[in-house]
């Protein structure tokens, strides 16, 4: 059996390990445009802030490929995929055939639509190379502009603040983390960001950048200007599918896969940030672009590729985020549309600044936001994931002292 894996991130390596655990004879080839061993992508911001060095990033040693008998083709980009002829083409003209294919190419940062976005010192923060380039641009930089009020934007802003820069965080929506929390939690987060020294501007985008080769300022949608020697764009991601023939392999928010992580084409699988799969809480297809989901999907894809039928019940959005001095935990569908039969319970503890918001559909918990008090968050997440009926009164879940045994006997 000839296995071909596109990508070298966490979904790809878990797939490769799963395949090898079930098939010691088949050939495995991994192709990635990054030229390094697999590393912990969420930790690249720690290199930016200076709390770790790049040598702490790898998640597998240099012997990884050799030990598993994998042919690694690194530093090369896949440019096209022929699902009829079962082969992929690389930028350098090489062609690789396959019996089973895994697409685990992750996601690309969403570009910003603004004039002069190609000036120097305007960065994305997706790869360790992005961070190395940022570090090279740091000497001499005094002020930074970070676009995007999500996880990547926070991590970039925190890192740059720690490096002594004056940082402005620009957010298109009215409050930070708007895709993951409600307005009350968003305002608590914004207050924390401001308290820690960030300048936060909401409801605005960038119209154009200005500079003589290197960025010096950004002109905003309200006509104002922010001076900056460095810009980080953290406005979300798009699945990395530019080589995928969309007429044959359907792509919506990501590449559509079934419960075996297989696409519409037998023998072609997808996993991780690039894949769109059933979401447990939404009951619809969704891309949950998070690390633990990529691990699980990669592993399940690998097992199915090697012939063991394993089902993925569905993915769940979940995250614990430390935003400066504040802990925020979210899971499931936290912002469902109003008037569609969801019940929302919330509680604010004015003394501690803790905030809890729980979303129910019928007797099931489908979403949660915990701010400043994440105690029992794991139990609540399990209730969502396992779709456990929650007995009344459900308000007890707003406190931290409910009995787990009564809920999940």
Report the C-alpha dihedral over residues 374, 377, 378, 382, rounded to 10 degrees.
-170
Classify strands 255-256 and 275-279 as parallel, antiparallel or unpaired. Answer: parallel
Q: Is 12 in the site for ligand FAD (CB under 6 A)?
A: yes
Choose the stretch contacting ligand FAD; rule: CB under 6 A; options: 38-46, 163-171, 246-254, 331-339.
Answer: 38-46
User: Minimal distance in Å, beta carbon 42 to ligand FAD?
Assistant: 3
Contacts of residue 202, Cβ cutoff 8 Å, sequence gap at least 6 = 149, 171, 173, 174, 175, 176, 190
User: Minimal distance in Å, beta carbon 396 to ligand FAD?
Assistant: 29
What sign for the dihedral angle of Cα 314, 104, 321, 284? negative
User: Minimal distance in Å, beta carbon 377 to ligand FAD?
Assistant: 15
User: Minimal distance in Å, beta carbon 337 to ligand FAD?
Assistant: 25
Considering only 16, 31, 102, 358, the residue that binds ligand FAD (CB under 6 A) is: 31
Distances (CA, A) of 289 to 98, 111, 296, 305: 27, 17, 12, 22
Choose the stretch contacting ligand FAD; rule: CB under 6 A; options: 15-23, 33-41, 134-142, 366-374.
Answer: 33-41
Q: Is 32 in the site for ligand FAD (CB under 6 A)?
A: yes
- φ/ψ of 298, rounded to 5, equals -60, -45
Question: Binding pattern to ligand FAD, positions 267-306, x when CB under 6 A?
Answer: -----xx---------------xxxx-x------------
- E runs forming strands in 36-186: 70-74, 78-82, 87-90, 95-97, 100-103, 107-109, 122-124, 143-147, 166-171
Residue matched to tokens 């979300």: 236
Q: Is 370 in the site for ligand FAD (CB under 6 A)?
A: no
Considering only 11, 15, 232, 255, the residue that binds ligand FAD (CB under 6 A) is: 11
Q: Is 240 in the site for ligand FAD (CB under 6 A)?
A: yes
Task: Give which of 331, 243, 256 is closest to 287, Cα–Cα.
Answer: 256
Question: Rule CB under 6 A: which residues touch ligand FAD?
Answer: 6-12, 31-34, 41-42, 44-45, 77-78, 104-107, 125-126, 151-152, 155, 240, 243, 272-273, 289-292, 294, 319
């Amino acid at each position: 059996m000839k296995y071909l894996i596109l990508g070298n991130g966490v979904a790809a390596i878990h797939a490769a390990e799963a395949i090898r655990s079930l098939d010691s004879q088949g050939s495995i080839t991994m192709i990635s445009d990054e030229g390094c061993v697999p590393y912990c992508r969420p930790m690249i911001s720690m290199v930016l802030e200076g709390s770790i060095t790049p040598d702490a990033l790898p998640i597998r040693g240099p012997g990884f490929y050799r030990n598993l008998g994998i042919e690694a083709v690194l530093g090369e980009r896949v440019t096209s995929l022929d699902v009829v002829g079962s082969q992929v083409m690389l930028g350098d003209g090489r062609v690789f055939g396959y019996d089973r294919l895994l697409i685990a190419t992750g996601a690309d940062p969403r570009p910003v639509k603004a004039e002069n976005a190609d000036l120097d010192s305007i960065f994305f923060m997706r790869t360790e190379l992005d961070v190395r380039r940022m570090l090279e641009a740091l000497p001499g930089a005094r002020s930074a502009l970070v676009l995007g009020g999500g996880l990547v934007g926070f991590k970039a802003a925190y890192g740059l603040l720690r490096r002594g820069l004056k940082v402005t965080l620009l957010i298109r929506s009215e409050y930070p983390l708007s895709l993951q929390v409600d307005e009350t939690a968003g305002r608590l987060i914004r207050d924390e960001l401001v308290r820690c020294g960030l300048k936060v501007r909401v409801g605005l985008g960038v119209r154009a950048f200005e500079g003589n080769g290197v960025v010096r300022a950004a002109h905003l949608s309200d006509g104002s200007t922010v001076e900056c020697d460095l810009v980080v764009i953290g406005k979300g991601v798009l699945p990395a599918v530019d080589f995928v023939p969309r007429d044959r392999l359907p792509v919506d928010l990501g590449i559509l896969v079934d419960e075996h992580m297989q696409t519409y084409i037998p023998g072609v699988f997808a996993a991780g940030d690039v894949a769109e799969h059933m979401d447990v809480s939404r009951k619809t297809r969704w891309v949950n672009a998070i690390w633990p989901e990529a691990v699980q999907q990669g592993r399940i894809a690998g097992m199915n590729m090697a012939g063991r039928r394993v089902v993925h019940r569905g993915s769940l959005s979940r995250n614990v985020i430390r935003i400066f001095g504040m802990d925020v935990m979210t899971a499931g569908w936290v912002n469902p549309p109003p008037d569609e039969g969801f019940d929302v319970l919330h509680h604010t503890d004015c003394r501690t600044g803790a905030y809890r918001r729980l979303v129910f559909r019928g007797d099931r918990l489908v979403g949660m936001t915990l701010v400043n008090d994440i105690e029992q968050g794991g139990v609540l997440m399990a209730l969502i994931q396992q779709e456990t009926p929650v007995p009344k009164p459900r308000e007890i879940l707003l406190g931290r002292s409910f009995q787990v045994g009564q809920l999940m006997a």
